[in-house]
Structure 1
């Protein structure tokens, strides 16, 4: 009986072998660009089967264990001309199918930047930076923070830990996670979104990371490239776009300290079978409190995107972002004391429990059209509108006595911003003899209008019953909580605080390539016209600024560069004398060396620079929220050295590390209010020494495969404060913050847990202000736990 059973098993097994073998077909191949380079990180799928792979660095792909049958292989990505081939497989075949794209290697790098499989390293900028070249060949220090970096560090907004990933960047004044104000190379970095300059006096509204794909920091001179960009640098937030996949999505939920609850949904797919009409939808809802009482920040965002491939050569993308924030008093994070920094508990607050919640709302619309005339020439046109409305208040003291008695004033702080932009630029390639050309030409125009109302104020306290910081009593200010008069529109109330700027510019750039493009000389020029009205004063100005850059490839993975750029930036701000701020002018020089290591898995950049600026604005220490004045300096010089490293050091081991030495000082004596600010005086708002690192390791095999650990630190020394301090005032101490956590991912699930400020240090930033100090403290040790599911 046993022999018969064994014989039956053997017979069935023999009949099963051919059937099993028929299920083991393979399809492989290689995808090349139009100029013969390997097309890495391109999606290759079996149409209608829900199976897709991505090409490796050699452009190769492979499907295993494919059943007998007919298939359509499709190569696709948004912005690419889709390629399809039909095949039949059977009988344990290995079929080789190759593809040649109509795009060049440089065009492809731009298209697949968001799909790059290098976790922390991106090799090419987005199209919104207008540079049709890999970062290795660009004569400038540009650092890109990837989606994976944002997720690993559990960054939720632009003002939530982003800056640790770029050398020399510091953050000024927290403003309740409503604005992001960051400094680089000794001055405020201009804030861009998808290549549009959204910088205003306090804005823009900090972007929530739920709809952000990656963030590009352009270090140093960027006025030519990005229209009115600050010579110290800009950051460009690039939002998520459809990827061209059949369907892709992710949902995540985060809980954290101080009653933080956050949920996000990201949907990405096709709206028709042809794949010409695509969508992306990101939704977010978050609630969180603070380590300070009566302080909260609740927000939600809605961000739909639709793209339509009008033809094989033309892509149209329409994007809408809506952000809504409900938060406590705008100035609730500020603390004031007469006897120095951090003299009060870090959870101390000067706010009140019954203050009316503040609100901020932002709508933005982007329309983008890209048209490829052929593989060498592409036209991009973009229209954008941003509308922002804020209804808020701000506590600021009218006096701080040595015994701690404070008279708190509550100011109205309403704002309305309406921005309109238009851009058209042409990227092209040509050859004259043995010289290649990368050509960029374009037109920029913008109309930025702003209204403010900070003209109403009411004291919460008086001398008979002041608020004492050493013995605080909450809930019963003697004058009660005021009701501001908003019966008139903000346009009427803010008529005398109107700021409007119109600019238009033309630019042309030619990057000439010699010796098979190993030596690249950039020659460029820009003409800018600006008309602005500020506090009922009108001014006009115009200027031509040149740009010269040189980049040399010493060998395929190493380049050295030099850059000279002139600056012209009209400024808005209020000077006590009533004068209109003069435009910033100056010269910018930068030299550097870039290298890709180990087949491009990680990269280093070492840069040295000098920025000379005339007429720079700096915060006036006598200003208040109701009268936010600025000082205009004669001339300042900023010099420094920066080092950035990012990428995969070993399989599973990813590292971001950076260091910056920055020295920014007045270089020509300036007279302010009858007093002379001597040459050599430090400019406000930077740290001389700034070092950061973030290390992540994921176990690659074994029972713990997919688990990992990550951690990093931020260090700043010799910090200058937010505004000018008087003689004998305290300096801010050095800053050190340690963060870290663990994660686990398998298939479609990822768990992430991080602890922030692990050492539980009292961390803050601030400034002296006349006869007292003010600062904002960061949270004590706190935690976040996230779960994400991909579908």
Structure 2
């Protein structure tokens, strides 16, 4: 890693003298949709390219002067734009280039400065809706790559939740697995529009190859009709843009954090039909807890080929590797309550077998544009997650602190296959417009687990959590050795989880009064088969309706209402041996959205209520080797969500959000969870804010200051919290972060300080006769340097 870091620094030195001007922008249709595959040529030169999937283009290494951009696309008139680049190091940003099918216009634009882009108007193609955010009758929030860069977010579990109202991350196996909750329960993990959620997974995505993360609240009808009604988060990866450019980044931080990443984007032929994108990352870090470490690297090549002006094929491969200390080391345990041990306390024994994960993803995507109104997309994917290692948990913990630490085998294989075919189109019948979505999707998930073998490190009295003089490295019973002579698939006789499904869906958005009033009518039929842990296979069929209204008060303001439905066939058993019933969820939602000051910033206000029948949760009586569920009857989640995002005044960018969540049992079939019982896994009130001010004049030109705060009030633990036998409740959570940045042309430096006030922050839960929790790091920092070329 140090050699790689030195190499990147040499690249910076060699390229420092090549600073040059830049012209970039976004191309829209008249209706506000971002246009991809638009050909853009610098008139009188050989320089050109095409817009990416979000309508963006970028020309680098330009000298000052006058330029003419020639834009052309199928079904649109050619358009010329005159641009003045004021200096060799200047940046021209063209926020809203609009192509109209019937007119040509010649415009001159002189732009200075480089505005912070926290706001976005659209969602990715993988969400399939084909509508700008303002017109979607649902709360959808997007966290883009500039937000992630400013906050130095390096993985999906690394603080991204703070940017969206009501979204929290629950503790689990460190950075190897991200558990996102919103609206009271777990949000499904999606990758490029495919549901990759599994019992423990997927492997946390590294942000080096991620373009944006989209949070869709509620069932999302056509996509989530077989899943939790709380919503999804959809990870969208970086794709070729048609522009020749690159960026190298090196980061150093607390606890021996070293990270190097490179992003290359360009053409493989002179015509611009064959494009590539390549991202690679290497990272190593220790922890504030003793003997804890993680090493990761990833590679993510993408190739796209424009078969003809209307057809594009994209092939994407992602590989992630992780080696870490025992995944149970993140937890602390005490019979006396939360945070009763030092913040850096660890039960980890040095010398234990590390955990290794190999994670492969292959995605093929074919898009065919019949004409400007109709587009067909076909997508197939294969995911393979393979983990070998072990976990730790107390075999026993007495009131005086004597613990027997058990180490169990923790191997897993997770294979997933997906196929999707969907059609987006527009039509007109009289005075009514139609935005049509029709599709088919199928998936097959198969997971094999082995945690059957366990090994005690200690005998009674040889390890005590309060013994500060204990030196690790010689456990009483020595180190475990697990028999892996048989393959995992042979070992996992009764520890398999399988699910296969097919779905058909149809949605029509009817536009009235020149599309000021939009009526969404949709339905999905889903057939699911699943089995788990040796239980009998179950089959479920369900029709899920979706009805929405969106009214545009003006071109920047809309109000909406939505009814959506989902169902979730639960894989698991009750302690009685019976199979759990599938969850059905009904979501009612209403809200108002507005874009302010030429889309510089946006706001949304949402109220919702979700009713879930046959609600399930982990049985509080489970031992570490048990995974029984309980069903509580019906639950009701209701709340209010407020989001603000964008540049509210010149040079001041803001991300602010607030959520009030109330999640309780509304009908009970279990005496231990009567009506009114609070359900686990959320905070009743969440408030987050991130401010960034960029200086553009005087001696401070190029500098920026950022500060952020996140609060979680009245927290419910993962496992019943204060409702279980009068146990302690989690305290309120307050965290403050800050950052200092400097940008000069293509060089960017950033210093981020996390947990500025050095608080003992954690999340956890009661468990039997003791408590467990995971502590966050005390005050720590990251210093990064990146260079764009």
Q: Scaled by the length of structure 1, what TM-score is found?
A: 0.88
Task: Answer whether contact 1:81 1:312 (CA < 8 A) is retained.
Answer: no
Q: Distance in 1 between matches of 2:101 and 2:328?
A: 51
Compared with structure 1, are the counterparts of its residues 406 and 31 closer, same or farther at alpha carbon in structure 2 (3 Å cutoff)? closer
- Partner of 1:723 in structure 2? 719
Matched, 1:438 2:435: yes
- Partner of 2:559 in structure 1? 560
Residue 170 of structure 1: CA displacement? 1.0
1:659-696 deviations in whole A, cap 9, x for unaligned? Answer: 0000000111232xxx4310100110000010000011
Residue 74 of structure 1: CA displacement? 4.7
Task: Answer whether contact 2:39 2:48 (CA < 8 A) is retained.
Answer: no
Matched, 1:669 2:665: no
Task: Answer whether contact 1:54 1:61 (CA < 8 A) is retained.
Answer: no
Q: Which moved more, 1:698-707 or 1:310-319?
A: 698-707
Residue 727 of structure 1: CA displacement? 1.5
- Partner of 1:93 in structure 2? none
Residue of 438, 450, 455 corresponding to 2:452: 455
Q: Distance in 1 between matches of 2:538 and 2:666?
A: 27
- Partner of 2:106 in structure 1? none
Task: Answer whether contact 1:751 1:787 (CA < 8 A) is retained.
Answer: yes
Residue of 681, 684, 693 corresponding to 2:677: 681
Q: Distance in 1 between matches of 2:583 and 2:781?
A: 43
Q: Distance in 1 between matches of 2:608 and 2:277?
A: 40
Task: Answer whether contact 2:33 2:132 (CA < 8 A) is retained.
Answer: no
Task: Answer whether contact 1:267 1:282 (CA < 8 A) is retained.
Answer: yes
Compared with structure 1, are the counterparts of its residues 541 and 38 closer, same or farther at alpha carbon in structure 2 (3 Å cutoff)? closer
SS in 2 for 1:128: helix
Task: Answer whether contact 2:75 2:371 (CA < 8 A) is retained.
Answer: no
- Partner of 1:312 in structure 2? 309
SS in 1 for 2:337: coil
Residue 234 of structure 1: CA displacement? 0.5
Residue pairs, 1:674-713, within 5 angstroms: 675-713=671-709
- Partner of 2:385 in structure 1? 388
Q: Distance in 2 between matches of 1:481 and 1:100?
A: 66
Residue 604 of structure 1: CA displacement? 0.3
Matched, 1:637 2:636: yes
SS in 2 for 1:149: helix
Task: Answer whether contact 2:402 2:461 (CA < 8 A) is retained.
Answer: no
Residue pairs, 1:421-570, within 5 angstroms: 421-471=418-468, 472-536=470-534, 537-570=536-569
Max radius of gyration: which structure? 1
Residue 477 of structure 1: CA displacement? 1.4
Number of paired residues?
A: 736
Task: Answer whether contact 1:169 1:182 (CA < 8 A) is retained.
Answer: yes
Compared with structure 1, are the counterparts of its residues 59 and 192 closer, same or farther at alpha carbon in structure 2 (3 Å cutoff)? closer
Residue pairs, 1:731-750, within 5 angstroms: 731-750=729-748
Q: Distance in 2 between matches of 1:462 and 1:643?
A: 53
Residue 565 of structure 1: CA displacement? 1.0
Q: Distance in 2 between matches of 1:103 and 1:200?
A: 46
Q: Which moved more, 1:725-734 or 1:769-778?
A: 725-734
- Partner of 1:260 in structure 2? 257
1:451-486 deviations in whole A, cap 9, x for unaligned? Answer: 000100011111152444344442221111110111
Compared with structure 1, are the counterparts of its residues 243 and 523 closer, same or farther at alpha carbon in structure 2 (3 Å cutoff)? same
Compared with structure 1, are the counterparts of its residues 72 and 717 closer, same or farther at alpha carbon in structure 2 (3 Å cutoff)? closer
Q: CA RMSD in A?
A: 3.1
Q: Which moved more, 1:531-540 or 1:469-478?
A: 469-478
Task: Answer whether contact 1:699 1:706 (CA < 8 A) is retained.
Answer: yes
Q: Distance in 1 between matches of 2:436 and 2:300?
A: 33
1:69-91 deviations in whole A, cap 9, x for unaligned? Answer: xx9955379x999979899xxxx
SS in 1 for 2:161: helix
Residue of 187, 190, 195 corresponding to 1:189: 187
Residue 437 of structure 1: CA displacement? 0.6
Q: Which moved more, 1:164-173 or 1:463-472?
A: 463-472
SS in 2 for 1:150: helix
Compared with structure 1, are the counterparts of its residues 554 and 490 closer, same or farther at alpha carbon in structure 2 (3 Å cutoff)? same
Task: Answer whether contact 1:72 1:84 (CA < 8 A) is retained.
Answer: no
SS in 2 for 1:388: strand
SS in 2 for 1:768: strand
SS in 2 for 1:640: strand
Residue 361 of structure 1: CA displacement? 1.0
SS in 1 for 2:341: coil
Gaps of 5+ in 2: 1-22, 83-96, 104-113
Residue 58 of structure 1: CA displacement? 14
- Partner of 1:653 in structure 2? 652
- Partner of 2:326 in structure 1? 329
Compared with structure 1, are the counterparts of its residues 32 and 655 closer, same or farther at alpha carbon in structure 2 (3 Å cutoff)? closer
Task: Answer whether contact 1:178 1:205 (CA < 8 A) is retained.
Answer: yes
SS in 2 for 1:140: coil
1:330-352 deviations in whole A, cap 9, x for unaligned? Answer: 11010110010000001000110
Compared with structure 1, are the counterparts of its residues 118 and 580 closer, same or farther at alpha carbon in structure 2 (3 Å cutoff)? farther
Compared with structure 1, are the counterparts of its residues 66 and 339 closer, same or farther at alpha carbon in structure 2 (3 Å cutoff)? closer
- Partner of 1:586 in structure 2? 585
Compared with structure 1, are the counterparts of its residues 314 and 183 closer, same or farther at alpha carbon in structure 2 (3 Å cutoff)? same
- Partner of 1:131 in structure 2? 129
- Partner of 1:348 in structure 2? 345
Compared with structure 1, are the counterparts of its residues 416 and 52 closer, same or farther at alpha carbon in structure 2 (3 Å cutoff)? closer
Matched, 1:119 2:117: yes
Q: Distance in 2 between matches of 1:29 and 1:788?
A: 19
Residue pairs, 1:5-404, within 5 angstroms: 44-46=40-42, 48=45, 74-75=70-71, 119-245=117-243, 247-404=244-401
Residue 638 of structure 1: CA displacement? 0.2
Gaps of 5+ in 1: 1-27, 88-98, 106-115
Q: Distance in 2 between matches of 1:597 and 1:579?
A: 54
Compared with structure 1, are the counterparts of its residues 424 and 60 closer, same or farther at alpha carbon in structure 2 (3 Å cutoff)? closer
Residue of 759, 762, 765 corresponding to 1:764: 762
1:44-70 deviations in whole A, cap 9, x for unaligned? Answer: 442755589999999999999658xxx
SS in 2 for 1:615: strand
Q: Distance in 2 between matches of 1:781 and 1:234?
A: 31
Task: Answer whether contact 1:461 1:467 (CA < 8 A) is retained.
Answer: no
Task: Answer whether contact 2:311 2:369 (CA < 8 A) is retained.
Answer: yes
Q: Distance in 2 between matches of 1:59 and 1:417?
A: 38
Task: Answer whether contact 2:50 2:242 (CA < 8 A) is retained.
Answer: no
Q: Distance in 2 between matches of 1:104 and 1:567?
A: 43
1:363-408 deviations in whole A, cap 9, x for unaligned? Answer: 0011011111110001111001100000121110121111000111
Task: Answer whether contact 1:307 1:316 (CA < 8 A) is retained.
Answer: yes
Residue of 769, 781, 787 corresponding to 2:785: 787
- Partner of 2:8 in structure 1? none
SS in 2 for 1:495: coil
- Partner of 2:614 in structure 1? 615
Q: Distance in 2 between matches of 1:590 and 1:660?
A: 14
Q: Which moved more, 1:585-594 or 1:460-469?
A: 460-469
Q: Distance in 1 between matches of 2:497 and 2:102?
A: 44
Compared with structure 1, are the counterparts of its residues 82 and 455 closer, same or farther at alpha carbon in structure 2 (3 Å cutoff)? farther
Task: Answer whether contact 1:120 1:648 (CA < 8 A) is retained.
Answer: yes
Q: Distance in 2 between matches of 1:433 and 1:329?
A: 65
Q: Distance in 2 between matches of 1:331 and 1:382?
A: 37
Q: Distance in 1 between matches of 2:79 and 2:286?
A: 52
Q: Distance in 1 between matches of 2:703 and 2:297?
A: 31
1:572-627 deviations in whole A, cap 9, x for unaligned? Answer: 23433222222111211000000111111100000000000012221223334432
Q: Distance in 2 between matches of 1:325 and 1:272?
A: 35
Task: Answer whether contact 1:588 1:611 (CA < 8 A) is retained.
Answer: yes
Task: Answer whether contact 2:228 2:585 (CA < 8 A) is retained.
Answer: no
